[in-house]
Amino acid sequence: MRSDVPAKSQQLSMDLANTDTFALRRRGGEFSLLLELDCPADNQPFAAATAIAVGMARMLHGTSITALALTDRRRQQHTHDPIEVAAVLAAAAQQPPLLHIAGKSVSRKQIRELLARARSIGIRSVLALTGDRAHSHVEGRAGQQRGDNPGYLDALTILELCRDRADIDAGAAVNCFKYNPADLYLQMFKMVRKLHTGAQFLLTPVGWDMKKFQELQWYLQMRELGVPVIARVALLSPSDIDTLHLGYQPGAAVSRGFMAMLQRESQINAQQSLSAQLQRLGLQVAGCRLLGYSGVQLVGIHDERTLEMVLGQVDSAMARYQSYADWVAAWNEFHNFLDFAPVPNAYYIYKNLLDPAQQHYDSDCCICNDRSLPLVGNHDKLRYYSNQLLAAHKTTAAIAAKWQQLRYRQCRAQQCGCQTYTFGLCPAPCPKKLMYGPCGGAAVDGICEFGAQTCFFHRVLAVAVWRQQLDALETGL
């Protein structure tokens, strides 16, 4: 990350320390509307690269937008310094943004420094992410990374670093748009683990399947996990629609029927397409509020004129849809009862989602679907037993050292302690070498974000099911 702007963060620490409206509204249980902006690439001078974002930040006074959210290397690896960008946006909006912090290609030391600098400009709320595939990532044989190996810090590690600072409120992501039981429950278990590690709010990925948005709320209500959740919803541009079949972002799932609907809308004319996108966005925001979300983060708005149109649409939809049943009817009518599931036999935890008579979770009325989780293979049973055996024999220092060597031999990643967190399975097959649970990037069929094989954590889940230790995936082993 490079910046050609003189360091001025300290000057901007000014009076923003107590102006984090997002944190204040979140704590007060009030609905928030955030505007997501990407940290600009560093191939343009700083002032030019940030000009549009600063213009949009200045517009926010007197609108229903609560705060800005600034992403971290979402579309490109090399960006201007996010703290310098956050500082100018904070000055323009007169309040600090929610800062996303991705764990790709960074060390613990860099994250600590970033948090300290974020505080120096008044940022209180950050979002801890593992991050998607780093641009410089090169995958070699047998899951070993080669070349300029970036490495990934798990979101849980970033949460732990945030927990060391009382002056930071950290949130975490949960990908609720999973359509097979293994991926969905792995996300839910890791979400609970993130909450145990100090996450104070959650953020979903962009999605259009409102059943999945409701499923997450019902699951949290069923588990009595009262945590604020922010839903990300996107305004799609014509180029987004044209390339949607290639994937909106890792882990995002879009049904063929919905893609066909978007194509039909965009083929009439650009105005018609924009109008349909705006109506859909307004409906989504109103729906998320009725489903129990604490806020919505608006994605895909790149200029002031579009922002004005979006705000007009969102304000009118929120005023119009005050009743859940009315909103469900309007959503279904607008989409002609379209099925948003991207695969046949898609898995949902509950049977009666988007039932107009059932807004919130009720144990008497919300019926769970059967779930079938992966079965453990014999090799993984053997790995589990040998790891248990090795861990149990530590009578003398010499023997312990020998056992440790054997453990390393069993572990291709050579990461001390890794097998402790994964039931004896070495995490080398995970290209990000994660140990605490999956990232959100697996495709709808469970194939890893990097495409070579099923997500490694399906195997970890299978061992947890076999050992009847599913709770270990939420609490750590």
Binding residues for ligand SF4 (CB under 6 A): 430-432, 434, 438-439, 441-442, 448-450, 455-457
Minimum CB–partner distance for residue 139 and ligand SF4 (Å)? 10
Minimum CB–partner distance for residue 457 and ligand SF4 (Å)? 5
Q: Which is nearer to ligand SF4, 40 or 143 (CB)?
A: 143
Alpha helix (H) ranges present in 12-107? 21-27, 46-59, 82-93
Q: Which is nearer to ligand SF4, 87 or 106 (CB)?
A: 106
Q: Which is nearer to ligand SF4, 1 or 203 (CB)?
A: 203
Q: Which is nearer to ligand SF4, 283 or 426 (CB)?
A: 426
Minimum CB–partner distance for residue 102 and ligand SF4 (Å)? 14
Minimum CB–partner distance for residue 459 and ligand SF4 (Å)? 10
Minimum CB–partner distance for residue 321 and ligand SF4 (Å)? 36
Question: 18 burial class (0-12, 13-18, 19+ CB within 10 angstroms)?
Answer: exposed
Question: 105 burial class (0-12, 13-18, 19+ CB within 10 angstroms)?
Answer: buried
Q: Which is nearer to ligand SF4, 311 or 442 (CB)?
A: 442
The strand pair at 67-71 and 229-234 is best described as: unpaired
From residue 149, how far is each of 414, 419, 432 by CA, in Å? Answer: 15, 22, 10
From residue 391, how far is each of 316, 387, 415, 422, 461 by CA, in Å? Answer: 61, 6, 15, 13, 21
CA atoms within a 13 Å half-sphere pointing along the CA-CB vector of 59: 19
Amino acid making up residue 369 = N
The DSSP output letter for 201 is: -
Amino acid making up residue 197 = T
Minimum CB–partner distance for residue 132 and ligand SF4 (Å)? 9
Question: Per the structure block, which two tokens stand in for 455?
Answer: 């997500």
Whole-angstrom Cα distance, residue 440 to residue 183?
9
Minimum CB–partner distance for residue 391 and ligand SF4 (Å)? 24
Q: Which is nearer to ligand SF4, 115 or 428 (CB)?
A: 428
Q: Which is nearer to ligand SF4, 195 or 455 (CB)?
A: 455
Q: Which is nearer to ligand SF4, 59 or 447 (CB)?
A: 447
Question: Per the structure block, which two tokens stand in for 188?
Answer: 């839910």
Q: Which is nearer to ligand SF4, 92 or 448 (CB)?
A: 448
Whole-angstrom Cα distance, residue 67 to residue 95?
7
Q: Which is nearer to ligand SF4, 178 or 212 (CB)?
A: 178
Question: Per the structure block, which two tokens stand in for 122?
Answer: 């008044």
Minimum CB–partner distance for residue 429 and ligand SF4 (Å)? 7
Minimum CB–partner distance for residue 26 and ligand SF4 (Å)? 28
Q: What is the CA radius of gyration of the chain?
A: 23
Whole-angstrom Cα distance, residue 186 to residue 465?
12
For the beta carbon of residue 215, count every other beta carbon within 10 angstroms: 25
Length of the chain: 477
Please provide the distance, in angstroms rounded to a whole number, between the alpha carbons at the two ends of the chain: 36
CA atoms within a 13 Å half-sphere pointing along the CA-CB vector of 418: 22
CA atoms within a 13 Å half-sphere pointing along the CA-CB vector of 350: 26
From residue 194, how far is each of 286, 437, 456, 474 by CA, in Å? Answer: 27, 10, 19, 8
From residue 340, how far is each of 23, 214, 283, 319 by CA, in Å? Answer: 33, 13, 15, 26
Q: Which is nearer to ligand SF4, 300 or 440 (CB)?
A: 440
Minimum CB–partner distance for residue 257 and ligand SF4 (Å)? 26
Whole-angstrom Cα distance, residue 36 to residue 285?
14
Minimum CB–partner distance for residue 314 and ligand SF4 (Å)? 33
